[in-house]
Structure 1
Amino acid sequence: MGFFPLFAHAGCPSDDIEQCKFTKSGRAAAPLNETIEARVGYFAITLNNSVRAEMTVAEHAALYRFNFPQALTNVKSSPLILADLTDLSESRSNASIHVDNVTGRIIGSGNFGPSFGIGTYNAFFCTDFSGASIRDTGIFVNIRPGPGIDHVDVFPDGVNPSGIPAGAWSRFEAPANGQILARVGVSFISVEQACSNAEKELPDFDFDGTVESVEKSWDLKLSSVEVDASAVDEELQTVFWSGLYRTLISPQDYTGENPYWDSGLKYYDSFYCIWDSFRSIHPLITLVDPVAQTEMVASLIDIYNHVGKLPDCRMTFDKGFTQGGSNADIVLADAWLKNLTGDIDWEKAYEAVISDAEEEPPIWSVEGRGSLHSWHEYGFIPTDDFDYVGVGAHTRSISRTVEYAYDDFCIAEMARGMGKSDDIGKYFARSHGWKNMFKADQTSAINGTDTGFVGFLQPRFMNMTWGFEDPIFCSELLNFTSCYLNPNGGETYESPSWLYTWFVPGDMATLIDTLGGPDVFVNRLDYFHEYPIIYMGNEPSFLTVFLYHFAGRPALSAKRAHSYIPSQFNTSLNGIPGNDDSGAMGSFSTLAMMGTFPNPGQNVYFITPPFFAEVKLKNGVTGKTATIRNINFDPTYNAIYIQSATMDGEPYTKNWMDHGFFTEGKTLELTLGATESDWGTRYDDLPPSLSTGGPPKGLRDM
């Protein structure tokens, strides 16, 4: 989270403490990029001050190994390590720090702001050292050190919100082997718990042993997935495994560190944000670690019990900003349909999603939904909406409408499965709300040339008249950075109407008919990807790669996936196309390469050939292993089109499958060829839509 950083000096110039630099700007040292080393559980870098820092981790603590040069011009070998009361975003308000003059232990705390939300949180740390004798200690305030002073408090000064720079330091005699270890425990409860965390988890300052332990932990976590990577390019293997690794970093288990409640359940934090993660992160965790996903779902419901709403974004116990709909509804529906079991109170879960659908909170910018009166009355969010119930950014009327529609679709699925007969029709009906913003005669031009495609989502007013927003607005073609949460933002969020017009995951069959039929739909989807209007660095783009399945052209989904991997997902410096703060980019590439991309919130997985000869997934609940095997696998990826398929030895023609494939440990064999075939193209082979007989039932209904 970027708080309480450490910084190491090899020594102070002329051995004068006053000549050491303490502030961020003063002490800044450039990294030597060729020295960077990163692997699971380990990171190392050398700065141009000749200090090399190695880092590893435990659950609630970190261990640093600082390597100091034996000789520097005009610098005595007397390392100084400082702890700074700051964070990356300069959000600190009150803070304090104390250094023990005998042991060199540095403890402290601070109050910080979350990275994407409202409120504040308290954090505590405890740093101990090993490897050299203490020479002296002190604090620093602004640019000046205070030798011998053991404590300082800082507060906002009315000018600088974070107050002045401040921290503490310990200076050492020359270490015999040139190394000093720093062990840092963290907690959100107290300094005492931070120290206890470090002492329990890293009692012996064993750096190499800790790295080995982390590697074993990750080996176990990743062991649910097995691939036959014979002849597969090493770069693609790196893309695959690093994507899975990043997916599993967050949400994070904060059990025992919640300062507000302890209900006896696991507490997860860093749902950052569900608008990103419902699309591919949570579905992937459901496949590779269903136990953790079950705990996360239970934690979301527990948050509802204590806060009153499901979060759409949450970090460090604070409410994060809602980017569109109430997307925890989709995560809960996904878990219900896939029969996740454990400490999940499904009646309470249903109560929570109904609260999202029916009860507008006072501040809907951080939870629930706004404009519910209009949503219920008009079936869309008017651009000039009159909302006197709650407050939030009155923007994103198009994207909020389609997200509310899909949220309600997912609630209807839960209602059907749970026997809530009075709600089924109501919420499925509301899921059609996207139609109310579809302007059938709206055209789109790029650089003054008509694209030839007609019909796009457009702003609409309370009097039922239409507004206008260029369908490419908020794409890289026009005002790319104009559609965020700012008060004057556009009517879509982070993507153009061109993209949001595709977002009807519950009834793609109706959308295809609305846009002119399968051929027009495919041509339009090709144009969207190839112009390109799409920006693959943003999560709403993910599903569009696989929408060809609904038009009976699953081969084109496979082709499209290969057009982005590895062209945009690779090991270069630009090898992640967008911000992977949540792990969404990694989950997209991993799922696409496994050949089993989900339609999140439904019991549907699109089938495309894996990027490997074989992929196996072991279910953490049933213990059974599902296998997807390519016959005639071609590592040059010329033969990426399914010619025929079998499921457990029987012919299989559907271009999708359900979650039972994984829980029951079935085997899917895909015979590949270099040309598109008629496999998966028949009407009966297509993924279900609401208008073609309803969505597929969940495992609980079967």
Structure 2
Amino acid sequence: MAIFTIILAVLTTAANALPGNSSYKDYVNLFLGTENGGNMFPGVSQPFSMVKLGPDVENGKTDAYSGYLPSGQVWGFSMMHESGTGGAPKYGVVSQMPVVGNLSNPLVDLGQNRSVNDTAAVGYYKSSLVSGVDVELAATDHAGFYQYSFPGNDSSSIVVDVSHVLPSFRGLGWGQGYAGGSLSISDNGSSYQGHGIYNNGWNYSPNWTIYFCGHFDQAPISTKTFTGNGSTLYRYDNSRSTNGTYRQGGVFHFEQERVTSRVGISSISAAQACSSLHDEMPVGTTVDHLVSQTQSRWDEQVFGRVTTTETNTTVLTQLYSYMYGMMLIPSNRTNENALWKSSEPHYDDIFTNWDLSRCSTALMQVLQPTAYEEQIRSLIDIWRHEGWLPDARSSDYTGRTQGGSNADNVLADAYVKGVRGGVDWTDGFAAMQTDAEVVPPNNFDPVANDSSTKEGRGALPDWKQYGYITPRFSRAVSRGVEYAVNDFSLYQVASGLDLASDASRYLNRSRNWRNHWNPAQKSFNSSGFLVPRYANSSFEYPYDPTQCDGCYWSDPYYEDTPWSYSFNAQHDIYRLISLSGGREAFIERLETFFTPGLYPGNAAYGSTLFNPGNEPAFNTPYLFNFVGRQDLSVKYSRHAALAFYNAGRGGIPGNSDAGAMQTWILWNMIGLYPMTGQTTFLIGSPWFKHLCISLGEGKSLTITSTGGNKDDAYFVQSLKVNGQSWGKAWVTWNDVFANGGTLDFVLGAEPVFWANGTLPPSPASGDTLTGYT
């Protein structure tokens, strides 16, 4: 017994070790994903915090979705940003901008180039401007810290721009607007308070307000407020802006070479912003203290939950940088809900459940079970007060819905995996039923005016009448397959709540994706694809399965091709296999999907039909598990992971989409992949010799591998689950997560057909299709 205890202690110490004297922060690259379209926010943030303080950069042509661009002029450092989103920029509000000298006209363009590349670490950000000013940033949940170092040969000014917002150059009417506000300066000039009212952006939000409370720790020699027009600075698409280029703010003039500023924000009031500033960042706070505090919090709440014996710095950088990137948003706005009084948690900045429901929320439950339950409760509380579950949300306004009502999938995934706690599942199911039964009012979106893009299922009339969606509705096919998955989610929750009639109805509706299947449609030796269908039941439609025209809001397929969407009925895989011609035909179809050179339009990804930069293809590499070819799941998922992800600035293949890309690669590194709305996890191949995931409440999942490596010897030779030999290419939540567990892999360079046990479940396929044919 004593010997076992000693061995266990040694293994635990090894699992928690990092190379040398390094710490987690040494393996977080905040610029990972800031290029190659990743749109990541590299500024300072706590996990899920309201404040995300960083630079705003403009080059006159490219949208800076997170505020940051690698090149261009810095024109402010603002308190609120999104991370990894697409569509159009959001926020960039409550800004300061340093200027050398006594500024006479704050309405001119104050943008400056940087003299060297910005630097960043967990909790810290620095920009050096060509004017000689260094700007260092740190933050807490509701407050930001600015430290300015000015050149010593002149006085200096700091402009507080209440009207500052991130611009959009896309010409789609998604630019943000400033609708007015206020700024008042204290008698001694060191403090200021006020508010700004903003509108529009990607979700077309009406006016919303943020309050601020700022303090300079050095006394200015003069101050002034300003209002006016500054058309040079504001070159954004303001087609929905209330006041166009109206500008408002204040100028603070200093003689000191070092100036520090502390700013609190709130959605409730300036008084609450001041209270947060006092509590989180009192007088005497330093950058070093805040950075240390932030790093400790990330270590405790995030990084320390996953430990490994890995010593490869590139792999460690990927692991912890991806974990960091997936936990910047949503933003925890609990106690900052200006819309209604509630004792429930409140989260904002959901971008979007269309992206996150596929594999992100499943990993959020594993790594952040407390925050995850809060996020579920928040979704349901939004429904209680606004009538709909949000598919996306920012500035406390719901929108936009890209396809299905995919918050349904998020709730179902939580329910089947045992999330209870403070969740009212009676209300949860009622919220899901609103999506499934009530047609949302049309918001007449200019890019898709046929039905609501704000909430719910806009194409529900066709879905309920025909069992499919006709081309009179935009995104008809992608909505059709997503509505089917949404209805399966209702089936799962209804079954658990013993609502037999509801369960039967929604299970049957979940099979209606089949009504979009045209067996006569052919492409690359494969027959049968999901295609648009008219009200007269005909499939006549001029679509090549490799094409989706613009692949955007007004098209039948959204952000991916018919080839990709034809794999998306994840709850009904065995019916999909049967419709595809059986096991061998399905294997051929899947391998064709990953074959290089077939689709020149996808040159960035080897001209394959597979697009790793968009979420509809996330699950596709793992579908080989359903036809007894787990080795091919490993082959193609590992190729995607190694070819399209890395530890550099372009380290994710496209928009992060609020961490969706990060969670896909993290599941690949772990060696599992979740089937959303089910308890099933498909088995891949881990990257690590030893990885331990803390599951809370003293539970953990430990994953080991021997005999292989992540680069070229990654095929599973054998597997033990909780010490027992395992012959299935899948595990369940109860096997390894509910109470913890172990996965012990033996890996090698050549495929071995080890998974000869029961195939993964396909719940909607029926008793007659319990496996491939």
TM exceeding 0.5? yes
Local SS of the residue matching 1:259: coil
Q: Which amino acid aligns with 1:53?
A: V
Deviation at 1:642, TM superposition (A): 0.8
- Shift of the 495–629 alpha-carbon distance from structure 1 to 2, 3 Å rule, reads same
1:368 alignment counterpart: 456
Aligned to 2:113: 30
Separation in 2, partners of 1:189, 1:419: 41
- Pairing partner for 1:686 from 757, 760, 767: 760
Query: How far 1:518 sits from its partner (Å)?
Result: 2.4
Distance 1:120 1:537, change over 3 A: farther
Matched, 1:381 2:475: no
1:47 to 125, 129, 135: 129
Cα distance, 1:206 vs structure 2: 2.1
- In structure 2, what is the Cα distance between the partners aligned to 1:224 and 1:431? 40
Question: What corresponds to 1:648 in structure 2?
Answer: 722
Write the letter of the residue equivalent to 1:206: T
Match status 1:212 vs 2:287: no
- Alpha-carbon shift at residue 687 of structure 1 (Å): 4.1
Query: What's the counterpart of residue 659 of structure 1?
Result: 733
1:356-411 CA-to-partner distances (Å, cap 9, x unmatched) read: 11111223321111232321221101113xxxxxxxxx300000100000100111
- Partner residue in 2 for 1:700: none
The answer to whether 1:172 aligns with 2:254 is yes
Deviation readout 1:162-188 (Å, 9 max, x if unpaired): 342232111112x2xx32111111111
- Is structure 2 residue 510 aligned with structure 1 residue 454? no
Structure 2 CA distance for aligned equivalents of residues 163 and 312 of structure 1 = 31
Deviations 1:83-141 (A, max 9, x none): 342211342112222223513323221221253323231111122111x3311001233
Query: For 1:159 and 1:268, how far apart are their aligned partners in 2?
Result: 26
User: Partners in 2 of 1:400 and 1:315 — Cα distance?
Assistant: 23
Residue among 463, 484, 491 paired with 2:552: 484
Q: Is 1:139–2:213 an aligned residue pair?
A: no
SS in 1 for 2:488: helix
Residues 237-636 of structure 1 correspond to what in structure 2 (within 5 A)? 237-363=316-442, 364-384=452-472, 394-444=473-523, 451-466=524-539, 467-474=541-548, 479=549, 482-485=550-553, 489-531=554-596, 532-620=608-696, 622-634=697-709
CA–CA separation in structure 2 for the residues paired with 1:555 and 1:142: 65
Correspondence 1:689-700 to 2 at 5 A? 689-691=763-765, 693=767
CA deviation string 1:238-281 (max 9, x = no partner): 12211111111112210111111122111111122111111122
Q: Provide the residue aligned with 2:36 in structure 1.
A: none
Q: Kindly tell me: are residues 158 and 645 of structure 1, through their superposed partners in 2, closer, same or farther at Cα, counting changes over 3 Å? A: closer
Distance 1:687 1:680 in 2: 14
Q: State whether residues 189 and 222 of structure 2, in contact with CA within 8 Å, keep that contact through their aligned partners in structure 1.
A: no
Taking structure 2 as the reference length, the TM-score comes to: 0.80
Say if 1:261 and 1:159 are closer, same or farther in 2 by CA, change over 3 A: closer
User: C-alpha distance in 1, partners of 2:241/2:138?
Assistant: 37
Counterpart contact for 1:114–1:318, Cα < 8 Å:
no
Counterpart of 1:171 in 2: which secondary structure? strand
1:196 matched to 2:279? The reply is no
Whole-angstrom CA distance in 1 between matches of 2:147 and 2:317? 27
CA offsets 1:264-307 (integer angstroms, 9 cap, x no match): 11111112211111112211110011111111111111111111
Counterpart position of 2:97: 7
| Paired AA for residue 649 in structure 1 | G
State the identity %: 31
Give, in angstroms, the shift of residue 224 of structure 1.
5.3
Whole-Å separation in 2 of the counterparts to 1:617 and 1:692: 35
Q: Which amino acid aligns with 1:376?
A: K
Shift of 1:670: 0.9
Superposition TM-score, scaled by structure 1 size: 0.87
Aligned to 2:9: none
- Alignment check: 8 A CA contact 1:62 1:183 kept: yes
For 1:99 and 1:162, how far apart are their aligned partners in 2?
25
Match of 1:447 in 2: none
How far is 1:335 from its partner? 0.6
Tell whether the 8 Å contact from 2:190 to 2:219 is kept in structure 1 after alignment.
no
What's the C-alpha RMSD, in Å, of the aligned pairs? 2.2
Describe the SS at the equivalent of 1:585: helix
Q: 1:80 aligns with which of 150, 153, 158?
A: 158
Unaligned runs of 5+ in 1: 145-155, 385-393, 445-450, 697-702
The alpha carbon displacement at 1:612 in A equals 1.1
Q: Which amino acid aligns with 2:115?
A: L
CA change 1:557–1:33 in 2 (3 A) is farther
Query: Between Structure 1 and Structure 2, how many residues are aligned?
Result: 641
How far, CA to CA, are the matches of 1:695 and 1:350 in structure 2?
28
Cα deviation digits, residues 405-459 of structure 1 (max 9, x gap): 0100111111111111112221111111111111111123xxxxxx222211111
Cα 1:581–1:503 shift into 2, 3 Å: closer
Identify the residue that residue 391 of structure 1 maps to in structure 2. Answer: none
User: 1:694: how far off?
Assistant: 10
Partner amino acid for 2:190?
A: G
Question: Distance between the aligned counterparts of 1:22 and 1:101, measured in 2?
Answer: 24
Alignment partner, residue 222 of structure 1 = 302
Please say if residues 241 and 590 of structure 1, whose CA atoms lie closer than 8 Å, have aligned partners that are also in contact: no
Distance in structure 1 (CA, Å) of the matches to 2:769 and 2:131 = 61
| SS of the residue 1:509 aligns to | helix
Opposite residue 319 of structure 2, the aligned amino acid is F
